[in-house]
Structure 1
Amino acid sequence: MNLTAESHRIPLSNGNSIPLLGLVLCLIPLSLRSTHCGCNVGYRHFDGALVYFNEHEVGQAIREKIADGTVRREDIFYCGKLWNTFHPPELVRPALEKTLKALKLDYVDLYIIELPMAFKPGKAFYPKDQDGNYIYHHTDLCATWEALEACKDAGLVKSLGVSNFNRRQLELLLNKPGLKHKPVSNQVECHPYFTQPKLLEYCRHNDIVIVGYCPIGSSRDASWVNLKCPPLLDDEVLVSIGKKYNKSSAQVALRFNIQRGVVVIPKSFNPERIKHNFQIFDFSLTEEEMKAIEALNKNIRFVELLMWSDHPEYPFHDEY
């Protein structure tokens, strides 16, 4: 696979394509600056969500970079997400239209179900009862998917996908009677300590691209991160391989995934780090190095979402 900073798109099953390297935009105060910086560095894939509460700023930055000639709209790949409180079919299109209105764009390139777990619809994005327990809602993933298909048919989105779906949940959609548009992608945690070999193989077999979040690990915030997973970027194998190429362990981890066809979406708001993470197209890992990194797999997640582990559609109880 000949990957360059200017050309690193891979095909999706519906004839569209997705850049292998993207930028997660989930930091509200810095999203305008981060999007500007990303466009200037060379990023064309931006991963956003309604629940990040910053789509207005992201859309403004994209439109400004289009206006100054840095990019064209067709160069940009924007991924939006359907949040848990919008799973009922009648709420799907209004949620997408809310995203499009904030972005001031006519369409998004990819729209995904952020989690297979539905929450009670309403104004609260994280609804809780008087005892502080999350209020769940019945999930009919096939009905939600049919509403998404209608959005694609209406031209509001180019491609449809999912996030944090396990094999059983993917099969629900793939085996749905009358399926019009199959999911082209599944966004899941994926990095050298959690390589997702079985899910990756299953998705490859079904022409579903894996988009890997936390590709260089995660913060050490104990409020939501599994601290039993050791810091990825301190790994001796990654550091050693990086020294050979004059690269950081983060760059090696990103290169590992894109060489196996996994899209990576690192998160950063630091301009130097955003630029640093993009510099992964001027070296290539050998087959032996790829195998050495694959052997680092600990099958352990940074992001477990244990606060929702009692949800009937919690995806991580299954092996994959």
Structure 2
Amino acid sequence: MKNVSFFQLPPSGNRPSGVEKFLKRSLADLQLDYLDLYLIHTPFTFEDIEGDLHPVNENGEIKLDLTTNHLAVWAEMEKQVVAGRTRAIGVSNFNIAQLTKVLNFATVPVSNIQVELHLYFQQKELVEFCKKRGIAVTAYSPLGSRGFVELLGKTDVLPDLLSNPVVLEIAKKYNKSSAQIVLRHTLQKGVAAIPKSTNPKRIQQNINLFDFELESGEMEKLNNLDQGPKGRVCDFVSFFKGVAKHPEFPF
């Protein structure tokens, strides 16, 4: 199995002059000649201050660059494909309007979009939009980022999806973990998932998803657990103070 390399252009580099600069830096750090996939990490931009990817002002607010131009950045992303530094390019955390603007401009396809997506926040409209346009969708936080929910004090709003009675019932039937059921649900919807774990046993479990298949009725039950936008965990506002002031803040 071939290892696939992908990396993201940070918000501090989200301007035409930053694309090649940060991609070359990533290639040097990874000791690679090229990436398989390079994504624009966010639709908004931070000031570029050397040595500080998340610069803040005296009030603790993130220093924003309000001049973000998605089309100019995408043009530079396309140049990286032509130069052979990355084989494919895409975006992350873009909404449908922002993605549409890029699609109408692009000469190199938008290969992938990476977004928060899990049982309580299934992004159904965005997934359908991307499927119709041949854009692969990758789910980050596919298990609901419970640690982050607890850190934010949102446990009363977002109950643990791995303890959801529907998930537990299906897990018992298949003799699988709750995480395996949740991930299998995502995969069967045609969405890739990148769960995070440092536990070797859980990492192995998260890979072993291909020896069973959820029935249509079970898929429907899990589909019905979607809470829409209120199920979002990673809203950026929680850890980048003031970011919602950016005109391209996507939520």
- Cα deviation code 1:150-203 (max 9, x no counterpart): 001000101101000000110110112xx2212111101111111111111111
**SS at 1:272's partner residue?**
helix
Tell me the CA shift for residue 314 of structure 1: 1.0
Map of 1:262-281 to 2, 5 A cutoff?
A: 262-281=191-210
CA distance in 1, matches of 2:153, 2:103: 31
CA distance in 1, matches of 2:85, 2:153: 34
- Cα deviation code 1:214-239 (max 9, x no counterpart): 11111333545744211110101011
* Long gaps (5+) in structure 1: 1-70
Using the aligned pairs only, state the percent identity.
37
Map of 2:247 onto structure 1: 312
Tell me the CA shift for residue 310 of structure 1: 2.2
2:125 pairs with 1:194: no
CA distance in 1, matches of 2:4, 2:182: 23
Question: Please, which of 204, 214, 218 is the counterpart of residue 289 of structure 1?
Answer: 218
**SS at 2:147's partner residue?**
coil
**SS at 1:175's partner residue?**
helix
2:73 pairs with 1:144: yes
- Cα deviation code 1:260-288 (max 9, x no counterpart): 11000000111111111111111100111
Question: Please, which of 60, 85, 90 is the counterpart of residue 132 of structure 1?
Answer: 60
Counterpart AA for 2:246: H
CA distance in 1, matches of 2:225, 2:104: 34
CA distance in 2, matches of 1:266, 1:189: 11
RMSD: 1.3
CA distance in 2, matches of 1:223, 1:244: 32
Map of 2:232 onto structure 1: 301
Question: Please, which of 145, 151, 165 is the counterpart of residue 218 of structure 1?
Answer: 145
Map of 1:38-187 to 2, 5 A cutoff?
A: 75-123=2-50, 124-137=52-65, 138-176=67-105, 179-187=106-114
**SS at 1:80's partner residue?**
strand
CA distance in 2, matches of 1:225, 1:108: 37
CA distance in 1, matches of 2:164, 2:7: 33
Map of 2:165 onto structure 1: 236
Give the direction of change, closer, same or farther, for the CA distance of 1:141–1:226 in structure 2 (3 Å limit). Answer: farther
Map of 1:46 onto structure 2: none
CA distance in 2, matches of 1:264, 1:189: 10
CA distance in 2, matches of 1:144, 1:303: 24
Map of 1:245 onto structure 2: 174
- Cα deviation code 1:63-86 (max 9, x no counterpart): xxxxxxxx6xxx111110000011
How high is the TM-score relative to the length of structure 1?
Answer: 0.73
**Conserved? CA contact 1:173–1:182, under 8 Å:** no
CA distance in 1, matches of 2:117, 2:177: 18
The aligned length equals 241
How high is the TM-score relative to the length of structure 2?
Answer: 0.92
Counterpart AA for 1:313: E
CA distance in 2, matches of 1:297, 1:156: 38
Give the direction of change, closer, same or farther, for the CA distance of 1:158–1:225 in structure 2 (3 Å limit). Answer: farther
Give the direction of change, closer, same or farther, for the CA distance of 1:168–1:225 in structure 2 (3 Å limit). Answer: farther
**Conserved? CA contact 1:219–1:225, under 8 Å:** no
**Conserved? CA contact 1:224–1:303, under 8 Å:** no
CA distance in 2, matches of 1:235, 1:152: 43
CA distance in 1, matches of 2:177, 2:202: 11
* Long gaps (5+) in structure 2: none
